[in-house]
A and B are shown apart, each in its own frame.
Chain A
Amino acid sequence: MKPRRGALLLVLAATTAAPAAEEFFDSISQALSFQSASGSHAARLSGTLDLEGYAFSQPAPGLIQSQRERLFNPRFSVFLDAQAGRRLYAFSQVRFDRGFDPSDKDLRVRIDEYALRVQLRGEGRLGIQVGQFATVVGRWTLRHTSWENPFITAPLAYENLTAIWDSAAARSTETILKWTHLSGSSTPAQENADRHLRLPVIWGPSYATGAAVFGRFDSFEIAAEIKNASLSSRPDAWNFDRDAWHHPTFSARLGFRPSMAWNVGLSASTGSYLLHSASRTLAPGTGLKDYRQTVVLFDASYAWRHFQAWAELVHGRFEIPRVGLADTTSAFMEIKYKLTPRWAAAVRLNRQTFGDLRNNQNANVPWGRDLWRADFAPTVRFSPNLQAKLQYSIQKEEGRPHAQHIGAAQITVRF
């Protein structure tokens, strides 16, 4: 069966009469669940099919890689969850799509996540996890998958590209300003030409490879990890065999849950943001370890009944020897309300500002365009297995004459 026809059949199955569809997906779930004779070992395959469409003006916003102004982005994700007794848990995610982020490239298969978790002490008091998995920094990763995310895109801190490259070190402020396209004379095509080289503060859920230790102590949660790539690093750098462990990134989050409704946390991360291949571009007398990214993130969330709210304040710093400290601060607040059992609405306000660098005339100049973005997204769940989302975003960057309007639609089938 061709992938497109299979996807169509899955969507059709999900949109048939609800009880029949629920039974169909329950039977799939049963067929994809396995357990040992004793029942102490079990595994389950599940997944999602996402059919996404984007409409935007150039240059493409966020992490979208496309020269066009319309983009169809299908994605088929398969998850494996396995449990052995109460202490061992393993999971994996395999995706078949056009790239980790929306793009118009060819479809391909990729293993995005795999991890083994061991609970050393019961009730989540102490555990370790090794593999390739989402960062412990912040709380957005908990809802980054298409079914959980009230929006189709990520908050600004997780997708807005800065002027930092990972394949080359900036040798001067002028280089940074050129990569930022701040002059205003750059055409969308010129801006698109180097988009694939630029980094956000945090690249999506940052599935880098490494190990984490975590635990819960009364109302406190703590998680710390060592990974092979920084938070800003691109998906290609997350794999175990890329750049390995010469300059690992250390991250941690301390969370406090004063009540079930509230969760606040403080995260920090530091590590080298340049790829090993950038070694030949470093300033004389410097090494990769001198090009560090440091992130401090405060998160807070609240949930009660049909209302949920999340907020994060992210401060990112890229150290650029001989140039300076490139600082950026990003914040967002996200609210979701379930209007009915099927309908939900979400609003997110994003803001990102950039600090100054000193140019060759000894003047302070911003190294990025300050911007804000408002996202609006209604969601309808037709059944426990079928969901449709719309998103409208308006983004305004300082220095650009017009606001950018972004439209997106997403249908998700979950099995």
Chain B
Amino acid sequence: MHCHRHILDRSPRWIVLLVGIWIACCTELQAQAVIQGRVTLPKARPSVVVNQRYEIVVQGGVLAVHPPVAVVYLEGKFPASPSQPLARMEQKGLLFHPAILPVRAGTRVEFPNLDNTYHNIFSYSAPKRFDLGRYRPDDRPIPSQVFDVPGLVTLRCDIHEHMRALILVLDTPYFVVTDTDGRFRLEGLPAGRYLLKAWVDSRTTREHGVELTADNVTTIDFP
């Protein structure tokens, strides 16, 4: 004990501070829970064929493929985020990336155009109705919108009718997108009783009550 105090006494103050933060973080992590599992996903949708009837000089064919995934999130009362979160929904290769983007309510989502052509993103969905107009890849600032009402927002492009994506606005900071096999792992969860939900599509949201305890990994499958 004496030796330990001696080392601390001789160390610069910032090392002491870092060690303190590290210990605090470890303690915090150890107190957090993990949920993992698998969501049974629907069958993949057929590829979307791009309408090129009248724009005869076009950039080759595009078969837009969006394998199904689900969004798993923890529903409950959580403190507000201290800063406004930022997320990105890109347009690349005449497709949206990612095809589904879960965000916490209040998130600003940027829509960078990474194609060598105009895009015109719009939504008629009730939680967020907007139309960004036509914009180039080099337009700055990157067009963005704040999504502050929970719900499902369908994005489309007014120029490329095959383009479609979803933004799932959630009232929780704890969410994750499954992989294409439906597997997920949700980490850093606070202990307590919650409802775990799996959003599969606009008509299908499965749910499961969970009681999370610190340092525990819970496995939940959504058949």
A and B associate = yes
Point out residues on A near B: beta carbons under 8 Å: 18-19, 22-23, 30, 33-35, 39-40, 42-44, 46, 79, 81-83, 85-89, 91, 93, 113, 117, 119, 122-124, 127, 129, 133-134, 136, 141-142, 144-145, 205, 212, 214-216, 221-223, 255, 259-261, 303-308, 338, 340-342, 381, 383-384
Task: From known contacts A79-B53, A142-B55, A306-B133, infer whether A86 and B45 are also in contact, taking CB-CB under 8 Å.
Answer: no
Q: Judging by beta carbons under 8 Å apart, are B46 and A303 in contact?
A: no
Q: Judging by beta carbons under 8 Å apart, are A261 and B136 in contact?
A: yes
Q: 23 interchain pairs (CB within 8 A)?
A: A18-B124, A19-B126, A30-B46, A33-B47, A35-B47, A39-B47, A39-B63, A42-B47, A42-B48, A42-B49, A81-B52, A81-B53, A83-B50, A86-B62, A89-B61, A124-B58, A124-B60, A127-B56, A136-B56, A141-B54, A305-B135, A341-B129, A342-B129
Task: From known contacts A19-B126, A39-B47, infer whether A134 and B54 are also in contact, taking CB-CB under 8 Å.
Answer: yes
Cα–Cα, bound, A210→B187 (Å): 61
Cα–Cα, bound, A384→B155 (Å): 10
Task: From known contacts A42-B46, A303-B118, infer whether A122 and B60 are also in contact, taking CB-CB under 8 Å.
Answer: yes
B154, closest chain A residue (CB): A22
Q: Judging by beta carbons under 8 Å apart, are A86 and B56 in contact?
A: no
Q: Judging by beta carbons under 8 Å apart, are B203 and A23 in contact?
A: yes
- The listed residue (B57, B123, B136, B156) touching A223 by CB distance below 8 A is B57
B136, closest chain A residue (CB): A260
Interface string of B95-135 (1 = CB under 8 A from A): 00000000000000000000001100011111001111111
Q: Is B202 an interface residue (CB 8 A)?
A: yes
- The listed residue (A39, A88, A259, A342) touching B124 by CB distance below 8 A is A342
Interface string of B27-69 (1 = CB under 8 A from A): 0000000000000000001111111111111111111010000
Chain A nearest CB from B61 CB (Å) reads 5
Please indicate the chain A residues that have their CB under 8 angstroms from the CB of B62 in the complex: 83, 86
Chain A nearest CB from B180 CB (Å) reads 13
Task: From known contacts A23-B203, A35-B46, infer whether A341 and B130 are also in contact, taking CB-CB under 8 Å.
Answer: yes
Point out residues on B near A: beta carbons under 8 Å: 45-63, 65, 117-118, 122-126, 129-136, 152, 154, 156, 202-203
Cα–Cα, bound, A123→B56 (Å): 12
Chain A nearest CB from B213 CB (Å) reads 38
Q: Judging by beta carbons under 8 Å apart, are B60 and A33 in contact?
A: no
- The listed residue (B49, B126, B202) touching A23 by CB distance below 8 A is B202
Please indicate the chain B residues that have their CB under 8 angstroms from the CB of A83 in the complex: 47, 49-50, 61-63
Please indicate the chain A residues that have their CB under 8 angstroms from the CB of B48 in the complex: 33, 42, 44
Cα–Cα, bound, A306→B47 (Å): 30
Cα–Cα, bound, A411→B174 (Å): 44
- The listed residue (B51, B61, B203) touching A86 by CB distance below 8 A is B61
Q: Judging by beta carbons under 8 Å apart, are B124 and A91 in contact?
A: no
Q: Judging by beta carbons under 8 Å apart, are A82 and B124 in contact?
A: no
Q: Judging by beta carbons under 8 Å apart, are B46 and A124 in contact?
A: no
Q: Judging by beta carbons under 8 Å apart, are A33 and B45 in contact?
A: yes
B113, closest chain A residue (CB): A260
Please indicate the chain B residues that have their CB under 8 angstroms from the CB of A304 in the complex: 133-135
Please indicate the chain B residues that have their CB under 8 angstroms from the CB of A214 in the complex: 56-57
Please indicate the chain A residues that have their CB under 8 angstroms from the CB of B56 in the complex: 117, 127, 129, 136, 212, 214, 223
Q: Judging by beta carbons under 8 Å apart, are B54 and A142 in contact?
A: yes
**Chain A CB within 10 Å — which of B56, B57, B129 has the most?**
B56
Please indicate the chain A residues that have their CB under 8 angstroms from the CB of B126 in the complex: 18-19
Please indicate the chain B residues that have their CB under 8 angstroms from the CB of A18 in the complex: 124-126
Please indicate the chain A residues that have their CB under 8 angstroms from the CB of B134 in the complex: 303-306, 308
- The listed residue (A81, A122, A136) touching B50 by CB distance below 8 A is A81
A343, closest chain B residue (CB): B131
Please indicate the chain B residues that have their CB under 8 angstroms from the CB of A91 in the complex: 51-53
Chain B nearest CB from A84 CB (Å) reads 8
Cα–Cα, bound, A155→B171 (Å): 50
**Chain B CB within 10 Å — which of A44, A46, A223, A341 has the most?**
A341
Q: Judging by beta carbons under 8 Å apart, are A255 and B57 in contact?
A: yes
Please indicate the chain B residues that have their CB under 8 angstroms from the CB of A338 in the complex: 131, 133
Please indicate the chain B residues that have their CB under 8 angstroms from the CB of A30 in the complex: 45-46
Q: Judging by beta carbons under 8 Å apart, are B49 and A341 in contact?
A: no
Chain B nearest CB from A348 CB (Å) reads 19
A140, closest chain B residue (CB): B54
**Chain A CB within 10 Å — which of B46, B50, B129 has the most?**
B46
Please indicate the chain A residues that have their CB under 8 angstroms from the CB of B117 in the complex: 260
Please indicate the chain B residues that have their CB under 8 angstroms from the CB of A124 in the complex: 57-60
B156, closest chain A residue (CB): A384
**Chain B CB within 10 Å — which of A88, A89, A304, A381 has the most?**
A89
B57, closest chain A residue (CB): A221
Cα–Cα, bound, A291→B142 (Å): 55
Please indicate the chain B residues that have their CB under 8 angstroms from the CB of A119 in the complex: 60-61
Cα–Cα, bound, A203→B80 (Å): 61
Please indicate the chain A residues that have their CB under 8 angstroms from the CB of B124 in the complex: 18, 22, 341-342, 381, 383-384
Cα–Cα, bound, A146→B203 (Å): 31
Q: Judging by beta carbons under 8 Å apart, are A88 and B61 in contact?
A: yes
Cα–Cα, bound, A76→B51 (Å): 18
Q: Judging by beta carbons under 8 Å apart, are B156 and A113 in contact?
A: no
Cα–Cα, bound, A222→B56 (Å): 10
Cα–Cα, bound, A341→B124 (Å): 7
**New A-B pairs, 19, CB < 8 Å, besides A22-B125, A42-B47, A306-B131:** A18-B125, A19-B125, A30-B45, A30-B46, A33-B47, A33-B48, A44-B48, A79-B51, A82-B49, A87-B60, A87-B61, A91-B51, A117-B52, A142-B54, A145-B54, A216-B59, A223-B57, A381-B124, A384-B124
Chain B nearest CB from A337 CB (Å) reads 10
- The listed residue (A23, A133, A215) touching B57 by CB distance below 8 A is A215
Q: Judging by beta carbons under 8 Å apart, are A33 and B131 in contact?
A: no
The 10 closest A-B pairs by CB, nearest first: A305-B133, A341-B131, A35-B46, A33-B46, A42-B47, A306-B133, A221-B57, A44-B49, A81-B49, A86-B61
